[in-house]
């Protein structure tokens, strides 16, 4: 175990004014919790693998020292298995980190050390953050920090990020490591035969050239050893970067290794890394008896083949009941007070004047946001954040895997589908943890069919409020059935043997009120800053259009659809606005019908048909943009056409069914 002579040190071309520090670690190790601890709440944290699907960056000032902190998606190794991991790897290799903080779940140290060893070979200065050290102690794992530090030759700091313990020290060590970058680390070597192959390949590689950095500042140079190991492992991205001559040499070496060891070269390298990690673990830790953990008993019930499903149904029904109960209570209160407020504020406006149209429509837009959207959105987001942070969602994925298999998906798609009940945009982003393109398309399509909170508002505030809670629940059930049916249909059209679910199920954690509220705020901020003003402007445009009778043009244009569905012609305009933001279709309906009491102007059938149509038709503009990014234009067009046809058929079916029942 000694440093080979002439080893290239890390070359930092120009020290950046603000150092870039990258947090990297395996899923659920607490990277994002740590990030939020120091960076404020800019990054969404969930107790679900893959919850960070893109890099979150924040400029952080700590004791007068400024650094750029980057939170990357969790990865198990430097060989990517899905787009989220690919993004993390690309960032790590190309953007020139000045220092890596390798966040490690201390209770899973032996496994996590394999990634640590890979990262160490990057040659970038590194600090290891032994996070969740309280969990490790509870599991009976005693870690000797100094021994680990001595073995790895990098600083090791114990933290409990959720409580803030050790975070100060972590960044103090980070700062001192950046100020005085260590000399190149000697590699921790493997078996002699493998080392020979690595050294042989290393010698053939061209001299490293500086890599470009996106920031235009410095870039990191990949060490020849790192490149050689990746090539021997069969990393395709790395193979694409070297010449054909080297590639064919690599293939010969891989074949030789496989011949010698009786397993593929990739397996040989993985085993070498594993053996080394195990040796380090045995040196640095002692495993004793774990303390009994009540969470294991809870988990036995919540993942039980019978009680698990009982609990799941109870949780979902309870969840929607609470959201609806709270929402309608708040809505009634607000509506009553806001109607009084309007009469009090504007007592002298004459009906039919332009100023009255302006004031009334702006007011309606404002009230629409306050009294219709917020009562349902806030309780929903709080509930979802609690379930997420507690770590219940991966259990749902486990329980649902068998069912989702029948519609051609697997449990990993649960997170996007559940997130879809909040907002379709993060749901589409979350599909990046799926390895197959076909699974991503299907999950994106189904996640956009799931009613987002805006559409849930329409369901609650129209069908629920005017016809009763049972109707709202019925529409949610219809939606779930349609999602299942669409999945089954699509997987007939695009069958594929998917590799199946591999999903880590993290420990339960107590949701922290501060984290939950900040997460809710982060998700609601977009509504308050963007949608609410848009709602008011939309309402104003509609009010003026009505005042000057322009809306009739739109309504006439959409009359084939509205006539087909037996809806009042005036709802045509609201459907157009609904594509901008789904909640607009509800607010605009109030505006277009000229009354806050829809029951006077629409029949029960019309309310049901309208609600169903709005629930399914065409994703909103923001979702379309997200879809284009995730699955491409062609498949997005397929998704839009599908949802529109589906909404029309379902609306029509509901109309016919309702007329049969009422006669």
Nearest-approach distance from CB 639 to other proteins, in angstroms: 25
Q: Per CB under 8 A, does 501 bind other proteins?
A: yes
Q: By CB under 8 A, which span of 72-80, 89-97, 332-340, 365-373 interacts with other proteins?
A: 72-80
Instruction: Provide the minimum distance between the beta carbon of 559 and other proteins in the complex, in angstroms, as a whole number.
Output: 48
The residue within the footprint of other proteins, chosen from 18, 77, 94, 603 (CB under 8 A), is 77
The span of 166-174, 257-265, 476-484, 549-557 binding other proteins (CB under 8 A) equals 257-265
Q: How far is the CB of 310 from other proteins (least distance, A)?
A: 12
The whole-angstrom separation of Cα 324 and Cα 461 is: 9
Instruction: Name the one range near other proteins by CB under 8 A: 186-194, 198-206, 399-407, 578-586.
Output: 399-407
What are 412's two structure tokens? 């990993």
Using the rule CB under 8 A, which residue among 86, 94, 110, 648 binds other proteins?
110
Residue 494: Cβ-neighbour burial (10 angstroms; 0-12, 13-18, 19+)? exposed
Q: Which of 93, 227, 378, 397 binds other proteins (CB under 8 A)?
A: 397
Among residues 61, 22, 12, the alpha carbon closest in space to that of 180 is found at 12
Q: Is 120 in the site for other proteins (CB under 8 A)?
A: no
Of the ranges 161-169, 296-304, 381-389, 537-545, which one interacts with other proteins (CB under 8 A)?
296-304
**Which is nearer to other proteins, 267 or 512 (by Cβ)?**
267
In whole angstroms, give the CA distance from residue 41 to residue 58: 10
CA distance 316 to 476: 12
DSSP 78-132: SS--SHHHHHHHHHHHHS--SEEEEEEEGGGHHHHHHHHHHHHTT-S-EEEEEE-
Greatest C-alpha distance within the chain: 93
Binding-site member from 326, 467, 505, 638 for other proteins (CB under 8 A):
505
Calpha distance 234→25 (Å, rounded):
22
Under rule CB under 8 A, residue 147 binds other proteins: no
Q: Would you say 549 and 352 are in contact if contact means Cβ atoms under 8 Å apart? A: no
| Torsion over CA: 9, 13, 15, 20 (sign) | negative
Q: What is the DSSP letter of 165?
A: B
**Sign, CA torsion 387/391/393/395:** negative
Task: Work out how close the CB of 141 gets to other proteins at its nearest, in angstroms, rounded to a whole number.
Answer: 8
Secondary structure letter of residue 598 according to DSSP: G
Between 356 and 504, CB nearer to other proteins: 504
How far does the chain reach from its first CA to its final CA, in angstroms?
87
Q: Verify binding: residue 410, other proteins, rule CB under 8 A.
A: yes
* Residue 305 found at the interface with other proteins (CB under 8 A): yes
Contact status: 79 vs other proteins (CB under 8 A):
yes
d(CA 395, CA 256): 44
- Residue 86 is a binding residue for other proteins (CB under 8 A): no
Stretch that binds other proteins, among 177-185, 215-223, 426-434, 499-507 (CB under 8 A): 499-507
* Residue 358 host element (H or E): helix 354-367
Q: Is 639 in the site for other proteins (CB under 8 A)?
A: no
User: Count of CB atoms within 10 A of residue 588's CB?
Assistant: 31
CB nearer to other proteins: give 79 or 159: 79
Compute the residue count for the chain: 663
Give the distance from CA 369 to its chain's centroid: 26
Q: Which of the ranges 266-274, 358-366, 472-480, 587-595 carries the binding residues for other proteins, by CB under 8 A?
A: 266-274
- Three-state DSSP string of 385-429: HHHHHHCCHHHHHHHHHHHHHHCCCCHHHHHHHHHHCCCHHHHHH
Asked if 176 is part of the footprint of other proteins (rule: CB under 8 A), the reply reads no
- The nearest distance, CB 449 to other proteins, in angstroms, is 23
Q: Does 500 bind other proteins (CB under 8 A)?
A: yes
Query: Does 399 contact other proteins by CB under 8 A?
Result: yes
Taking CB under 8 A as the rule, does residue 504 contact other proteins? yes
Q: At 348, is the secondary structure helix, strand, or coil?
A: coil
104 binds other proteins (CB under 8 A): no
- Applying CB under 8 A, does 630 fall inside the site for other proteins? no
Helix (H, G, I), strand (E, B) or coil at 21: strand
Q: Which is nearer to other proteins, 165 or 299 (CB)?
A: 299
CA nearest to 33, candidates 165, 175, 177: 165
- Site for other proteins contains 356 (CB under 8 A): no
Between 140 and 210, CB nearer to other proteins: 140
463: nearest Cα among 485, 443, 479, 448:
479
Q: Is 111 in the site for other proteins (CB under 8 A)?
A: yes
Tell me the backbone φ, ψ of residue 414, rounded to 5 degrees: -60, -45
Interacting stretch for other proteins, rule CB under 8 A, among 437-445, 464-472, 476-484, 495-503?
Answer: 495-503
By CB under 8 A, how many residues form the interface with other proteins?
46
Q: Does 499 bind other proteins (CB under 8 A)?
A: yes
Q: Which is nearer to other proteins, 68 or 121 (CB)?
A: 121
Instruction: Kindly tell me which of 107 and 162 has the beta carbon lying closer to other proteins.
Output: 107
Q: Are 58 and 45 in contact (CB under 8 A)?
A: no
CB of 259 to other proteins, least distance (A): 13
**Is position 143 an interface residue for other proteins (rule: CB under 8 A)?**
no
Residue 411: C-alpha distances to residues 163, 423, 449, 477, 499 (Å)? 31, 20, 18, 20, 12
Give dist(CA 37, CA 362) in Å, integer: 40
Judged by beta carbon, residue 303 or residue 559, the one nearer other proteins is 303
Residue 119 binds to other proteins (criterion: CB under 8 A): no
Q: Where are the strands (E) in 201-315, listed by range?
A: 285-287
Half-sphere exposure of 102 (CA within 13 A, CB side): 28
- Distance of alpha carbon 161 from alpha carbon 165, whole angstroms: 6
Specify the DSSP element, H or E, that contains 658: helix 633-662
Contact between 589 and other proteins per CB under 8 A: no
d(CA 453, CA 416): 14
Angle between helices 532-547 and 354-367 (to 10 degrees): 150
Judged by beta carbon, residue 139 or residue 254, the one nearer other proteins is 139
Sole binder of other proteins in the list 68, 71, 98, 114 (CB under 8 A): 114
Which range touches other proteins (CB under 8 A), out of 223-231, 401-409, 553-561, 591-599? 401-409
What are 469's two structure tokens?
């809670």
Min dist CB 407 to other proteins, Å, is: 13
Q: What string marks each residue from 432 to 471 as x (binds other proteins by CB under 8 A) or -?
A: ---x------------------------------------
Work out how close the CB of 285 gets to other proteins at its nearest, in angstroms, rounded to a whole number. Answer: 12
Q: Which of 402, 468, 485, 594 binds other proteins (CB under 8 A)?
A: 402
Compare residues 9 and 290 and give the one whose CB is closer to other proteins.
290
Which positions from 123 through 142 interact with other proteins, judged by CB under 8 A? 139, 141
Site for other proteins, rule CB under 8 A? 76-77, 79, 81, 107-108, 110-111, 114-115, 139, 141, 262-264, 266-267, 270-271, 274, 299-300, 303-306, 308, 394, 397-399, 401-403, 405, 410-411, 435, 499-506
């Amino acid at each position: 175990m000694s440093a080979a002579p002439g080893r290239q040190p890390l070359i930092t071309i120009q020290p950046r004014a603000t150092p870039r520090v990258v947090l990297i670690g395996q899923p659920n190790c607490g990277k994002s919790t740590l990030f939020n601890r120091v960076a404020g709440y800019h990054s969404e944290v969930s107790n679900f693998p893959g919850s960070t699907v893109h890099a979150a960056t924040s400029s952080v000032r700590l004791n007068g020292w400024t650094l750029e902190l980057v939170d990357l998606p969790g990865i198990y190794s430097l060989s990517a298995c899905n787009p989220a991991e690919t993004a993390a790897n690309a960032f790590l290799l190309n953007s020139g980190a000045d220092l890596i903080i390798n966040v490690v779940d201390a209770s899973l140290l032996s496994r996590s050390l394999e990634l640590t060893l890979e990262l160490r070979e990057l040659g970038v200065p590194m600090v290891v953050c032994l996070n969740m050290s309280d969990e490790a102690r509870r599991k009976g794992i005693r870690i000797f920090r100094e021994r680990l530090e001595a073995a790895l030759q990098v600083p090791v700091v114990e933290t409990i990020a959720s409580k803030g313990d050790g975070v100060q020290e972590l960044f103090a060590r980070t700062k001192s490591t950046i100020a005085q970058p260590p000399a190149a680390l000697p590699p921790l070597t493997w078996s002699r035969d493998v080392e020979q192959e690595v050294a042989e390949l290393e010698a053939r590689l061209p001299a490293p050239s500086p890599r470009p950095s996106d920031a235009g500042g410095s870039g990191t140079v990949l060490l020849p050893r790192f490149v050689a190991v990746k090539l021997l492992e069969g990393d395709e991205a790395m193979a694409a970067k070297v010449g054909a001559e080297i590639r064919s040499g690599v293939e010969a070496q891989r074949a030789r290794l496989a011949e010698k060891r009786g397993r593929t070269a990739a397996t040989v390298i993985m085993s070498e890394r594993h053996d080394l990690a195990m040796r380090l673990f045995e040196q640095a830790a002692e495993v004793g008896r774990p303390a009994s953990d009540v969470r294991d008993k809870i988990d036995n019930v919540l993942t039980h083949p019978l009680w698990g499903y009982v609990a799941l149904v109870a949780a979902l029904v309870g969840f929607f009941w609470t959201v609806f109960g709270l929402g309608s209570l708040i809505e009634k209160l607000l509506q009553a007070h806001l109607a009084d407020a309007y009469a009090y504020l504007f007592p002298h406006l004459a009906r039919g004047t332009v100023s009255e149209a302006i004031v009334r429509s702006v007011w309606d837009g404002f009230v629409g946001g306050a009294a219709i959207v917020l009562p349902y959105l806030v309780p929903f987001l709080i509930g979802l954040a609690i379930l997420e942070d507690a770590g219940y969602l991966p259990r749902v994925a486990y329980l649902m895997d068998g069912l989702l298999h029948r519609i051609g998906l697997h449990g990993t798609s649960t997170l996007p589908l559940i997130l879809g009940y909040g907002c379709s945009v993060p749901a589409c982003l979350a599909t990046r943890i799926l390895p197959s393109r076909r699974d991503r398309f299907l999950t994106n399509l189904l996640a956009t069919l799931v009613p987002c909170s805006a559409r849930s508002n329409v369901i609650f505030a129209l069908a629920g409020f005017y016809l009763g809670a049972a109707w709202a629940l019925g529409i949610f059930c219809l939606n779930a059935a349609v999602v299942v049916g669409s999945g089954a249909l699509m997987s007939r059209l695009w069958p594929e043997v998917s590799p199946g679910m591999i999903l880590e199920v993290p420990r339960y954690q107590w949701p922290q009120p501060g984290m939950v509220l900040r997460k809710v705020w982060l998700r609601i901020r977009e509504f308050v800053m963007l949608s609410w003003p848009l709602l008011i402007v939309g309402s104003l445009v509609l009010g003026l259009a009505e005042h000057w009778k322009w809306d009739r043009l739109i309504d006439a244009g959409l009359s084939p659809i509205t006539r087909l569905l037996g809806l009042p012609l005036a709802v045509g305009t609201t459907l157009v606005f609904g594509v901008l933001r789904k909640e607009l279709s509800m607010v605009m309906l109030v505006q277009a019908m000229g009354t806050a009491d829809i029951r006077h102007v629409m029949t029960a059938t019309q309310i049901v048909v309208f609600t169903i149509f709005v629930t399914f038709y065409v994703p909103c503009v923001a979702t379309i943009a997200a879809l284009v990014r995730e699955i491409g234009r062609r498949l997005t067009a397929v998704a839009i056409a599908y949802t529109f046809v589906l909404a029309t058929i379902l609306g029509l079916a509901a109309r016919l069914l309702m007329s049969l029942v009422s006669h």
